[in-house]
Structure 1
């Protein structure tokens, strides 16, 4: 089969489109024909070694030509690696003890796997800890492949797992509910646009922050109010005016997010594209009884929730553009330019 093999930390030259052996499903596993695979920050960040504690800048800091032993999600990335965290696929074979009746199902894969159970926060990630979806075929544990009954395109389903799983996990952990006011920096991105839809689904009022160029796009996604990056959130919204901030941007704007939180408010994050090292005024944290919530490990209800929302027609992803698998460098370059809204998806 054909796959994109990432050979180590570095630039696009580390992405090699070539023939590799077809994986064979073992006990408890199924083989999927990949139908669509979304592009995410995590694949680029992992290739660049951005998760290393030595990196102090935002995700534009490439880290090229430097191997970083702690540059992956779980410390060391097992290069060479087939990346690809998002997968929509069709089951074409099952392992020796698998359910052959599932062959033919169209599925999406739960990318964040809790191999030690949901009482442990240890995770195993598709495309980061073992071979993922930037290939024509992949094997996964059978119980991590979820059938979906809907009329969506493969590209739409392939845009769901990472962004929407991450978004639903943050919303679930933060306890977002009806009548709450939620602020979403980076509202036009894959995770941000998912947060907007999922928070609105729960009856929250959603305020999105984006670039001036994407103002109308974000409004179309469903936000109740749009701020641009040039706006001062404190001046626009007032201090102590927001119940929850769902922030994957961080960087220099982190302190302002705490200013707009109400007493007892919650700040939840699973990323830091504008910079991982932030300035924290501890008084904003303890005097206001604010909770800071970090999210990586997906909780048990998250993925079943998403399947139910899809099948009930309650959410719909935004696919900005598709590329063939051999054009992965172009796809990642387009993703990194941040000129799009929604998801970019690869079609093997």
Structure 2
């Protein structure tokens, strides 16, 4: 089969489009012939070696949707030809609060979805939402699950609450926006792009603030009041601004740090507000089931920015790395 394989660190340019041996499912596994895959920031970080436990060579890619092509022994809940999506979280465990010590994510060290075929445990295979296209279905799993857990499981969002989503435009942030609107929250966003803010309003945001503008934090606080819930994947020095924006007893849920570590916490701002800062990463199989149910009930459609062919994966990762996308970036495989 054709696949995109990373054999050495050094950025997206190190990815190679090659012929590799097709995998075969073992007991408890299924083989999926992929229609589409989708990119995540995780994939780009791995190419630079900026991800924990990088093991090479690996076929990258956590997101994918396709048709079951073969079934291993002891699999009786699927049949060949079933249309499916893949939960990329492997070996989470039985405790929804935390993952097992051997938890990992499809696409390194386990070979992933930048390929014509992928093998996964049957417990990670779920029916594709019928109303979604193949491309939309492939764009859903990792970012959709991350957003669901951050907003609903950890964030405990309630109808009527004020929710802030920094850095609108990425896959998780856009799912957060759509899910929060579906829950009846009052959602505000930030971005360095006025165009992205306007597009977020079309998806239900009540307003947005450009963080390159002078005094934007004070202006935001004056306009929206204080935020009951902030869900952040940006991190960096701007995290202290989010603490300023948070309400008394408010919550901040953090799921990423694309801008790097937070340089300095001013602790009194946290404890005098009686606020919570909660961390989250991906989610459990039960939450994946809940996420799919939520998406189906509210008929949410992933926002797709642009699609590339599998052969164009290097170009696709470089495009993601420039940060101008609004929505998910996908790879057409079939």
Q: CA RMSD in A?
A: 1.7
| Residues 1-348 of structure 1 aligned to structure 2 (within 5 Å) | 1-51=1-51, 72=52, 76-99=53-76, 101-118=78-95, 120-122=98-100, 123-171=103-151, 172-210=153-191, 211-231=193-213, 232-238=216-222, 241-348=226-333
Once residues 259 and 246 of structure 2 are traced to their aligned partners in structure 1, the CA distance between those partners, rounded to angstroms, is 20
Structure 1: which 4+ aligned runs deviate by more than 3 Å? none
Once residues 129 and 93 of structure 2 are traced to their aligned partners in structure 1, the CA distance between those partners, rounded to angstroms, is 29
Give the C-alpha shift of residue 143 in structure 1: 1.2
SS at match of 2:5: strand
**TM-score normalised by structure 2 residue count:** 0.93
Q: Is the CA contact (8 Å cut-off) linking 1:34 and 1:89 kept in structure 2?
A: yes
**TM-score normalised by structure 1 residue count:** 0.89
Once residues 19 and 107 of structure 2 are traced to their aligned partners in structure 1, the CA distance between those partners, rounded to angstroms, is 18
List alignment gaps of at least 5 residues for structure 2. Answer: none
SS at match of 1:312: helix
CA deviation map 1:129-178 (0-9, x unaligned): 31110000000000111002423211111110111111111012110111
Give the C-alpha shift of residue 312 in structure 1: 2.8
List alignment gaps of at least 5 residues for structure 1. Answer: 52-71
Structure 1 residues 101 and 39, CA, compared in 2 at 3 Å: closer, same or farther? closer
Once residues 263 and 5 of structure 1 are traced to their aligned partners in structure 2, the CA distance between those partners, rounded to angstroms, is 48
Once residues 180 and 336 of structure 1 are traced to their aligned partners in structure 2, the CA distance between those partners, rounded to angstroms, is 33
Once residues 240 and 221 of structure 1 are traced to their aligned partners in structure 2, the CA distance between those partners, rounded to angstroms, is 22
Once residues 137 and 153 of structure 1 are traced to their aligned partners in structure 2, the CA distance between those partners, rounded to angstroms, is 19
